Amino acid sequence: MSQYIRVERPREGIARVVLARPKTRNAQSPQLLRELDEAFLAAVGDDGVKVIVLAADGPDFSSGHDLKAPFGFEGKPIATMNHSTTHPGIEAHYEFECEAYLGLCLRWRDIPKSTIAQVQGRAIAGGLMVLWPMDIVIAAEDASFQDPVTAFGVNGVEYFTHIWEVGPRKAREMLFTGEALTASEAYGLGMVNHVVPADQLEEFTLDLPEKIARRPQFGIRLAKASINHQLDAQGQRQSLEAALALHNLGHANNLAQFGAVVHPDGAAMIRASAAGARR
């Protein structure tokens, strides 16, 4: 039984995986991420599922990482062989992020079925890491997208695909200022496929996968794999690994200076910027 994830079958051939932690704005604890991966795995293994839709309860898609949750997984690793929670210094934290953040995001990027993110409200930091691995993004007009975590003294979220999502110049502005992109801005940059009124978001996000589900699914799988191979030929996977190493250099610097892996002023700065996120 999942505590933070709900799986629905709203139409034939469609599995909708829902982040169901609205009281915390779907903050991502390690448990939520593990349950999300289990739901994706089950949908991949179900021959009746042609398209997977990722949605979220409540007014916001996701507020990002749950900073009150421990940095660590219980049980066996999912995406990598990293499994240390006891090594001193930054090592254990780095291994956790290799597994829970970069490892899972790449695993979800390579899901062999088509995936669609349905986004309303704010998608902040770790919220981007959940939706960016999806193939298609559909946003409500009230959606916003924000990576403010340079306030923590690190380079950005761990799944560092910013330049592929919004281009290098906008990625710099996004990271340097911590300000949010509106849905219309994200659409203009190519990060979002469609922007629709909030009251039409659910129906639109179910109509599109019905079109996909009617096509030969092996052809869809091959097209997706071809695109992902081309991203990797551009250096995406290697760049992600390098960015995660720099991210953890930031954590190590914070640990040396402040005795914690994040800058002590970061949380307050991010809360302030999230409260003022543009719509």
- Give domain 5-275's CATH architecture: Alpha-Beta Complex (3.90)
Tell me the pLDDT tens digit for each residue of 11-65.
Answer: 999 999 999 999 999 999 999 999 999 999 999 999 999 999 999 999 999 999 9
Taken as a whole, the chain contains a residue count of 279
| Measured torsion, CA atoms of residues 43, 141, 63, 172, in degrees rounded to the nearest 10 | 110
176 by Cβ neighbours in 10 Å (0-12 / 13-18 / 19+) ranks as exposed
Least confident of 69-78, 144-153, 180-189, 217-226: 69-78
As a whole number, mean pLDDT of residues 239-268 equals 95
Q: CA 22, 38, 103, 160 torsion: positive or negative? A: negative
Instruction: Give the pLDDT of residue 84.
Output: 63
164: pLDDT strictly greater than 50? yes
How far is it, in rounded angstroms, from Cα 257 to Cα 89? Answer: 13
Residue extents of the structural domains in the chain? 5-275
- pLDDT score for 161: 98
Would you state the pLDDT for residue 83?
67
pTM (2 d.p.): 0.94
Q: How far is CA 202 from the centre of its chain?
A: 19
Euclidean distance between the first and final Cα of the chain, in Å?
35
Burial of 18 (0-12, 13-18, 19+ CB in 10 A): buried
Distances (CA, A) of 215 to 10, 109, 209, 218, 227: 19, 20, 10, 9, 18
